Chain A
Amino acid sequence: MTRLLLQFSKQQITFPITSQVILEQGVLLNILRAHVEPTFGEILVEVPQEYVNRIVNAFQKRGVKATVQRRLEVDNNRCISCGACYSLCPISVISFEEDYSIVFEGEKCIACGLCIDACPTQALHI
């Protein structure tokens, strides 16, 4: 599965563009996160790998910016394995091993950002 970040402009928020794309392409999109502000909207969706190009084109045709989403990145030179991030992750991307090494399973990350500002050594980025 690949994650796509869909960014809608103020004008596009009111249209059911995501539903149109799903119906037109016949591909199921799993919505992981949706966020609407007065001036823009963002949806994070999961798309089967083989349909990524089709879906990206279908959104872009409608003027929606669709980009393959980057995930949590860990700077191992900065990380001291404290685990301050661990209790904040809503979907258990962050866990620890028996020797208390912190493990990041980046492919599960939904890029919510909750952990980023909790890192005392600024080792986390999205």
Chain B
Amino acid sequence: MANIRTVKEINEKIKKGDALVLTAAEMVNLVEEKGEKIAAKEVDVVTTGTLGAMCSSGAVINLGHSDPPIKINRAWINDVEICHPGAAVDLYIGATMMSETHPFEYGGGHVIEDLIKGKEVELRAVSYGTDCYPRTKLETTITKNDLNQFILLNFRNCYQRYNCATNGRNEAIYTYMGKLLPNYGNATFSGSGCFSPLMKDPDYETIGIGTRIFLGGTYGYVLGEGTQHDPTNNFGTIMVKGNCKKMNIDFIRGASFTKYGTTLYVGIGIPIPILNEGLAIKTGVSDEEIFTNVVDYGVPRRRRPTIRQVNYKELKSGKITINDREVKVSSLSSLKKAKEIAEILKKWIDEASFFLTSPAEKLPTNTVCNPMKQTRELAFVEALIRPSITCSEDDTIKSVAERIIRHSVNHVVVVDNRRKLRGIVTSWDVTKAVADGTKKLVEIITRKVVTTSPDDPIEEAARKLAQHNISALPVTDKNGKVLGIVTSEDLTKLIRR
């Protein structure tokens, strides 16, 4: 599309105070009211924003040298282990590393927040000692002012959009998408929809290496594509850096997800220069036109089943329909802060304290995110299920014994008339009943049955067999319906293969 203005021209206008800057929400309204032609003519820059949990985040710090010097081998800040990726006193505080004394409550994200706040933190380090770095132990306290560098360096941030998560299991689960109630009882989503930075320039015409952005309350820069950048599926990501010493904890915050771990909430805003009419259309896209999938996180596999499509307008309403039932849906990222970031960025540009940059190299638009190469693909229970021999609670011990002989099995699964699991009877139970003179089947049924699901890895099933000293596991779906059985014999055959 033919360009109608350049970044250089926009910066001239910003300097003179003549640039028209709108937030993404304002641009959506303008395009809707006056159309993209007028919007493109009038608007110079559209500001975006998002503030959400971004796990692939962290900060590089340089401590300066101690006397005698130390080549740090392992280090901890406030009991959170800090990676040591480089030379003697360069450390990387990973957001998801957890405190060894308060795991799941305090982690790398909180260390970064505490340092930004100006708090004093405790540093411990150990080393093996070398001729040039003889020191082997170090204990000190530091604040951000004691650090030579304190740089946020995040290798995957700012997902263009994200899945909406729900849970089809009959138990609550705790995930990186938060707490998900049983039987699709609620849903959670992330991403700011019409404010989403990468969604407003989905072909990355203006974003790439060197793009100046809002990051954690100050300026930052895009370093290029983020890990798992997946532009063809609208799941683009960016790698960013910024000076933590100037950041503000209103826009960067340590966080923890129960039974998942710790992370960092990062606030990012990207200014999109309206270089052509196409960018006016793209920045004018509304919540209603941005779609994502509702995905069942109850299935613990790489490919989780999609239940339906949903747009961000529905998500932001707080309620969506899943399987004909209306459930509440929570945003995990802060929509309020997303808007605030877009407004602050607009203000900076209006005040001529923030200028736009042209990327040295644009983000790639054609890469894909491949799955992991595994030297040995895990087998799952689904590959081993065999039909189970079943009976009901009303059957007699004799008829169960007959089934055991006829089908030459050792396990008969007790089900109700809807095939829901009621218990299990083994050939040993029947033998013992005969020896003891027990007459009724209900007296020999084992009620507490260890089960597995089709999506359990074989290793998990084998672990259950060994742990409970049993030789078969009924396979049930999430509603407790019996799908079949796996036996230790089948498992042994598979492993020998």
Binding site for B on A (CB under 8 A): 80-89, 95-96, 99-102, 114, 117-118, 120-122
Contacts and interface: CB of A to CB of B under 8 A. Distances in A.
Contacts of A118: 178-179, 258
A101 B174 CA distance: 25
Contacts of B265: 80, 82, 120-121
Interface stretch (B135-143, B286-294, B335-343): B335-343
Interface of B: 51-53, 105, 174, 178-179, 181, 186-188, 253-258, 263, 265, 316, 318, 327-337, 339
Nearest to B166: A87
Nearest to B335: A100
Contacts of A121: 253-255, 265
B253 A80 contact: yes
A14 B396 CA distance: 39
Nearest to B174: A117
27 contacts: A80-B253, A80-B265, A80-B334, A81-B337, A82-B52, A82-B330, A82-B331, A84-B331, A84-B332, A85-B330, A86-B318, A86-B328, A87-B187, A88-B181, A88-B186, A89-B328, A96-B318, A99-B336, A101-B336, A117-B258, A118-B179, A118-B258, A120-B53, A120-B256, A120-B257, A120-B332, A121-B254
Nearest to B104: A117
Contacts of B331: 82-84, 86, 100
Contacts of B179: 84, 88, 114, 117-118
B337 A80 contact: yes
Given A96-B318, A120-B256, A84 B337 contact: no
B318 A120 contact: no
A66 B53 CA distance: 41
B174 to A, nearest CB: 8
A114 B182 CA distance: 13
Nearest to B178: A84
Given A80-B265, A80-B334, A87 B329 contact: yes
Given A87-B187, A88-B330, 11 more contacts: A81-B336, A82-B331, A83-B334, A87-B188, A87-B329, A99-B336, A114-B179, A117-B258, A120-B256, A120-B332, A122-B256
B330 A86 contact: yes
B186 A83 contact: no
Which applies to chain B's interface (DSSP): helix, strand, loop or mixed?
strand
What 4 pairs between A and B have smallest CB-CB spacing?
Answer: A87-B328, A120-B255, A87-B330, A87-B186
B253 A100 contact: no
A82 B330 CA distance: 8
B254 to A, nearest CB: 8
Contacts of A114: 179
Contacts of A82: 52, 265, 330-334
A117 B105 CA distance: 10
A121 B329 CA distance: 19
A88 to B, nearest CB: 6
Given A117-B258, A118-B178, A120-B256, A100 B330 contact: no
A84 B336 contact: no
Nearest to B319: A87
B168 to A, nearest CB: 16
A99 B334 CA distance: 11
Contacts of B51: 80
A87 B181 CA distance: 9
Given A99-B339, A118-B258, A120-B255, A81 B330 contact: no
A120 B331 CA distance: 12
Contacts of A101: 336
Of B174, B257, B331, the most chain A CB neighbours within 10 A belong to B331
A45 to B, nearest CB: 26
B334 A81 contact: yes
Contacts of B53: 120
A83 B257 CA distance: 13
Contacts of B187: 87
A95 B318 CA distance: 9
A13 B257 CA distance: 36
Contacts of B337: 80-81
A125 B10 CA distance: 48
